Structure 1
Amino acid sequence: MIKKIVYLDNAATTPVHPKVFEKMIPFLKENFGNPSSIHSFGRKVRVAIEDARETIANIINADPSEIYFTSGGTEANNFIINGISKANFNETRRNKIITNNAEHHAVLDTIENLFHAGFETEIIKVNKETKVESNTLRKSIDEKVSLISIMHVNNETGSINNISELTKLFDDKDIYFHTDAVQSFGKIKIDVKELGVNSLSASAHKINGPKGVGFAYVKSGTPISPLLFGGSQERNRRGGTENIAGIIALSEAAKIKMESLDYSFQYVEKLKKRMIDGIKNLDSENIFINGGNDSLPYILSLTLNSEKYNNDAESIIMFLDINGIAASSGSACTSGTIKASHVIKASGYSEKDAAGTVRFSFSTENTEEEIDYTLEILSNLLKKFQK
């Protein structure tokens, strides 16, 4: 068996598309003006930013004035959650925020920070597929609720929350709803009106754009205060000179993704099915597939039964890496150590089982041959880690 190099960690980040890189270059060289400047250098760049804003707005069926460019998904989540919570509290004195225990830390940690600042927070539980169930959310809604934040697609398991169903639970109430769409934007159709959300966050580097740029959608009329101060950029809600090349790149990456949305979905769907079929042939009883049958095809999370395997997240990922396969443990790295994922534990696994979780995430750059090679390496891995 000849060692190959296989990148299956696309949910973590993706390479910049060549066309996206080409679009960036002029804005790093000759079109270098500050968009806040009123001379021709600045005006040329300002026009490009507003064109990009319109492109993003059209993709999610929003108005361009509802799009705010940020440094990525984390900032977008912070801006929205902090901004809506604080502004709405000042207007209504409502201070309760609801989220769930399988959210990304960009949401969980922001809400925890608000808890320490005096806000009331409720972290509801997800089901075994890491989805939020309507009945669970309904029980938590009361007159104190200001904001609910539920992710669109789970970044570790690929499970898809039925956002439009969840927002219908309180469409007669004055409650704001945010969804972290970092893993869904550019991969499945998003219509903010159909979803019924007030705000949404997304990032460029998950869709073959560069790192360090993303956007926040905030529905017109939604109260929101700035996260960054010191400038009038982004309609006085996001101070700081814009990342011009990044914004242009985000727009181009999004356009490219939308042009091949259906093809890409079907392509990775075949890869995921091939992988799952192969895994079932290896061990159908002691390898558990996470996220449910209707999870996003771009993500495949599996967990090894700790009764049969010596689960060690770091060792498993290193074994794959030594054999040329880049994947994720579905875990958060803290101070150089890998902890069992809070998402996997939220779905009901023990600490020992969760430590045997691997996340593979696909793109159209991956091939069936790469999947077959990965299955060969997985077969070797199972023999090595078997008790």
Structure 2
Amino acid sequence: MNSIYLDNAATTALRPEVVTRMTQVLNETYGNASSSHSFGRASKALLEQCRKNIASYFNVSASEIVFTAGGTESDNLALRSAVRDLGVTEIITSQIEHHAVLHTLDQLQKEYGVKVTYVKLKADGSIDEEDLESVLGHSDGKKLVTLMHVNNEIGNVLNLKNIAKIVKSYGALFHSDTVQSVGHYKIDLKEIPIDFTAASAHKFHGPKGVGFCFVRKESGLKPLIFGGEQERGHRAGTESLHNIAGMDAALKIAYANLEEEHAYVLDLKNYFITELQNNIPNVSFNGCSESEESTYTLVNVRLPMAPGKASMLQFQLDLKGIACSRGSACQSGSSQQSHVLKAILPADELAKPSIRFSFSIYNTKEELDYVVGVLKTLAAS
């Protein structure tokens, strides 16, 4: 085993079909979609077809899909405009959101004085729905709730339908970072009253640098980036057509094969958990990893090792050819502990090394056997 990639929550490998589609667009459909000549019209037609295709997977209108550079921009677009343009004065969130949300809220507090309230978490990191209702009931002014669908570090899955029902019963706006779930779960946005979501193509075997924001029709959202009138005025700048076409192709394949690939990856995850339990005494898992309230794509493992070994564990795994992470790739260069784990673990458990392993259709049980063997050796040394 020379190299094993188990960091799919950070980014995924491009499907070969996606590379083929992107190359075709780069070679053949290179006009600017805002140009009026035949080259531009061809690009515009392809752009709008991709938009219609993507909208259809979520049961929404094509006009509600805004192409962006990815999840971070989409989160910023929704949250900043909600405060700046829609009159939101309080945002209710959790301490385990992605930093694309948390850091944006920090900035909104500084710029606009918006109130940020954190809903309570249960011991496994899941949202305390009773506390959410209590917070909403005691809030004044225009409110927005932002809670992610699938947590990128511990894999907890939010019940979007239940949360949306609660949020809307109090007349609040609802934003959800769906970066880890789009392409992995069916999300009917006609049935579930979410106002804004975020997606990023590289999480479902598409290209980096492209994503989309779902913006509920007539929401009043204003642009974050100004310039031209692209994206119906929501997002200025020439659209990256080859990336958008690649995202469209990746999403089409993901949803066409969703049940089969879900079953395959879930089997890998369950096998990995069982083998770890059989080979490493006192191994434990963060979040809802062993329940149906956890995503099938990742598991966050807490190893029974002395705290002093924690800082070198990921480096040792890398030397063995195993790619994984302590948490979000966006903070992997930081020496600080995971903000997600700090919010849910007591100090003695937090001191133990926790590693996130995330899976894809390109992984095998043979690879997992090797990883378990390496972890067993490291835990015993």
Note whether the superposition's TM-score is higher than 0.5. Answer: yes
Query: In structure 2, how many angstroms separate the alpha carbons of the residues matched to 1:85 and 1:282?
Result: 51
Indicate the SS of the match to 1:28.
helix
Shift of 1:336: 4.1
Match of 2:124 in 1: 129
Shift of 1:222: 1.1
CA contact (8 A) 1:345 1:351 kept: no
Counterpart amino acid of 2:153?
Answer: E
Indicate the SS of the match to 1:29.
helix
- Counterpart selection for 1:241 from 238, 243, 262: 238
Counterpart amino acid of 1:103?
Answer: E
User: Sequence identity of aligned pairs in percent?
Assistant: 38
The 3 A distance-change label for structure 1 pair 286 and 299 is closer
Shift of 1:111: 0.9
CA contact (8 A) 1:70 1:216 kept: yes
2:323 corresponds to 1:326: yes
Match of 1:304 in 2: 303
Unaligned 5+ residue runs, structure 2? none
Q: How does 1:135-146 map to 2 (within 5 A)?
A: 135-141=130-136, 142-146=139-143
The 3 A distance-change label for structure 1 pair 355 and 225 is farther
Query: In structure 1, how many angstroms separate the alpha carbons of the residues matched to 2:35 and 2:114?
Result: 40
Counterpart amino acid of 1:99?
Answer: T
1:101-152 CA-to-partner distances (Å, cap 9, x unmatched) read 0000000011111111111111223222222121121111123242110000
Query: In structure 2, how many angstroms separate the alpha carbons of the residues matched to 1:286 and 1:367?
Result: 22
- Counterpart selection for 2:93 from 96, 99, 108: 99
Match of 1:79 in 2: 77
Deviates more, 1:287-296 or 1:248-257: 287-296
Shift of 1:257: 0.1
Q: How does 1:63-78 map to 2 (within 5 A)?
A: 63-78=61-76
Q: How does 1:173-212 map to 2 (within 5 A)?
A: 173-212=170-209
Query: In structure 2, how many angstroms separate the alpha carbons of the residues matched to 1:72 and 1:62?
Result: 19
The 3 A distance-change label for structure 1 pair 286 and 273 is closer
Match of 2:146 in 1: 149
- Provide the TM-score with structure 2 as the length reference: 0.94
- Provide the TM-score with structure 1 as the length reference: 0.93
Indicate the SS of the match to 2:203.
coil
CA contact (8 A) 2:10 2:328 kept: no
CA contact (8 A) 2:230 2:239 kept: yes
1:33-57 CA-to-partner distances (Å, cap 9, x unmatched) read 1000010000000011111101110
After superposition, the CA RMSD in angstroms is 1.8
Query: In structure 1, how many angstroms separate the alpha carbons of the residues matched to 2:59 and 2:309?
Result: 44
Shift of 1:279: 1.0
Indicate the SS of the match to 1:317.
helix
Q: How does 1:43-54 map to 2 (within 5 A)?
A: 43-54=41-52
Shift of 1:345: 1.2
The 3 A distance-change label for structure 1 pair 342 and 351 is farther
1:134-192 CA-to-partner distances (Å, cap 9, x unmatched) read 11211111232421100000001111011111111142443110110100011111111
- Counterpart selection for 1:31 from 13, 24, 29: 29
1:341-363 CA-to-partner distances (Å, cap 9, x unmatched) read 00111122427625511000000
Query: In structure 2, how many angstroms separate the alpha carbons of the residues matched to 1:287 and 1:170?
Result: 33
Indicate the SS of the match to 1:58.
helix
1:19-68 CA-to-partner distances (Å, cap 9, x unmatched) read 11111113222311100001000000001111110111010111100000
The 3 A distance-change label for structure 1 pair 101 and 48 is same
Match of 2:115 in 1: 120
CA contact (8 A) 1:301 1:358 kept: yes
Match of 1:57 in 2: 55
Indicate the SS of the match to 1:202.
strand
CA contact (8 A) 1:329 1:358 kept: yes
Indicate the SS of the match to 1:178.
strand
Match of 1:376 in 2: 373
The 3 A distance-change label for structure 1 pair 190 and 331 is closer
The 3 A distance-change label for structure 1 pair 261 and 139 is same
The 3 A distance-change label for structure 1 pair 313 and 242 is farther
1:72-111 CA-to-partner distances (Å, cap 9, x unmatched) read 000000001111222211xxxx411111100000000111
